[in-house]
Chains A and B, each alone.
Chain A
């Protein structure tokens, strides 16, 4: 993984606003309670799980070896990464226009749209997933509408497969790309886009050469969030997916609950954790941890 000091490209001028690193640990005493809480409720269980994965049924790494070599498990990993990837891409494509709308709509309309998004976020997850089941099933609204219009003769298989999982999860993940994207887009001065237009850039060029590069921090933050959340998602894949579309979280649940194989379950959970942490490290490396603002506020 990334070693060494956090390297920023060396410029001629010192970058403004960076705190001297010596003082960084001064306030350590204040975070001690939070630190203990984290250690007790997060680190401890994880370590326990890791221990079981290398100790059960016999000490050694055979759980991990089995996990990474068995074709069935490989399929689960493939499913997981495929769905997470496609869901990330789909939520980006659908979320960008919405985030843009939120940024440019006049206050009242933006507030309304925000309300709709938040409301959908706060609605019970199961309720939303069952709603998608109703919409997507063979005799569901979508299939019937398509058949009535005459676009298709037989109902499309939209459920119990990856398509269903992807659709359902994209909907649930949308707010998690819209919110960070909206924050970056809002920080972009509209005058910069006007300048691009007067410079001769048409809408596409202005988007491609100015808006998109400036919104990259938001794109990255949103994608990472969605990708990581998707990797470990359980409810939606379980309800909208089929037997062949099992994802990692379902596998863990099954290993632990049905098969009582804590060793394998622990190994799978650990792999998931490592992948997640690795992605987070990548983000910190390339984008910085807290600096999710547009590159050009200054």
Chain B
């Protein structure tokens, strides 16, 4: 087993009675792009700040390349960070902002000039060195902040929702830039966002935060296809949670009964559940199908149909008065009789169902 590059061990942080981070443990490989994804207040920033050194954790340990970071003051950690808010030094030009970390390190002028030029080229802002931060757009400011954070070749770059103040178009453009820069520099990046699309687009791995803990860490595909908890399943992608009752389980497969009496076997079980326990069966909208000819599945009534170009989105009413979302690709051939107000059968392959504890 090789030693992880960045090793976060059991971090906990409390502010008086408030527990901001309950227990976060995470191993990050060198050069990895790892994203913290989670709802507001789940402890993402606090974890990042513990690594940056602004808010020392109440307990736990952070090791970088085997050495503890916690005893090192933040100005000696040599870590790069891009903040959510614009933090360029407003009294310094773009070039001087990027030069700042090198000036405080007392590098030679020639070296600084060369590095600044290279950094501005990296973030595609060549020729803007003379501008003042106030004369830049938000996206440009964040790119300068990125150049400033990378100017001293930090081993780790922290980014706390750097794009959240930008509009969607610009955000996507800069996401591509960030990916390119990650590839070009090979820097290890910890990135915070609560935008799942952004997380999926950027990262090698995603750590899903919830209430000060990491619920699951894995690639986007892992999280989507094999969510470890109901929270992860609900947070990544869209999902339907059907109330169900556990009948019996063998290994990872379970048999369950839906409220209308429908029995399902071969459902994937992600948490240990006992017979008779009430649980939640998660099925993604795109794994569901509506059929008129079939006699199996769950009888439903179609409440609403929306045309989405490549697919149709249905809202259907289950016998137990739950609204369920169904998404069917138009290319798959949709029965013309599936219109609002008609009855149909809702079917899905057994393996598309994921069983979690607790009805939701």
- Chain A contacts to B: CB under 8 angstroms: 11-13, 189, 191-192, 194-202, 205-206, 209-210, 213-214, 294-296, 298
Contact = CB atoms under 8 A, between A and B. Distances in A.
Chain A CB within 10 A, most for which of B78, B80, B89? B89
Given A12-B131, A189-B85, A191-B85, A199 B90 contact: no
Interface string B58-85: 0000000000000000111111110101
B90 A298 contact: yes
Contacts of B104: 199-202, 205, 209
Contact of A210 (B80, B89, B135): B89
A201 B75 contact: yes
A11 B135 contact: yes
Interface string B144-172: 01001100100000000000000000000
A200 B81 contact: no
B209 interface: no
Contacts of A209: 89, 100, 103-104
A51 B135 CA distance: 51
Nearest to B82: A195
Contacts of B148: 195, 199
B91 A213 contact: yes
B133 interface: yes
16 contacts: A11-B132, A12-B135, A192-B89, A195-B87, A195-B145, A196-B89, A198-B79, A198-B80, A200-B75, A200-B104, A201-B100, A201-B104, A209-B104, A213-B91, A296-B89, A298-B90
B243 to A, nearest CB: 45
A296 B74 contact: no
Contacts of B76: 200
Interface of B: 52-54, 74-81, 83, 85, 87-91, 100-101, 103-105, 131-135, 145, 148-149, 152
B87 A191 contact: yes
Contacts of B54: 194, 197
A25 to B, nearest CB: 28
Nearest to A13: B135
A198 B132 contact: no
Nearest to B128: A12
A289 B172 CA distance: 42
A55 B135 CA distance: 56
Given A11-B135, A13-B135, A209-B104, A197 B74 contact: yes
A205 B76 CA distance: 13
Nearest to A296: B90
B101 A199 contact: yes
Contacts of A192: 87-90
A62 B145 CA distance: 63
A212 B78 CA distance: 24
Nearest to B158: A198
B85 to A, nearest CB: 5
Nearest to A11: B135
B132 A195 contact: no
Contacts of A295: 90-91
Contact of A200 (B78, B85, B90, B131): B78
Contacts of A210: 89
Which 6 residue pairs across A and B have the least CB separation, nearest first? A296-B90, A199-B101, A195-B87, A201-B104, A213-B91, A197-B75
A70 B89 CA distance: 51
Contacts of A195: 81, 83, 87, 89, 145, 148
A71 B175 CA distance: 73
Given A210-B89, A298-B90, A198 B81 contact: yes
B83 A191 contact: yes
A193 to B, nearest CB: 9
A46 B78 CA distance: 62
Nearest to A216: B91
Contact of B87 (A194, A200, A201, A202): A194
A296 B83 CA distance: 16
A13 B134 CA distance: 10
Contacts of B79: 198
Given A199-B149, A200-B105, 18 more contacts: A12-B131, A191-B83, A194-B74, A194-B87, A195-B83, A195-B148, A198-B79, A200-B78, A201-B75, A209-B100, A210-B89, A213-B91, A214-B89, A295-B90, A295-B91, A296-B89, A296-B91, A296-B134
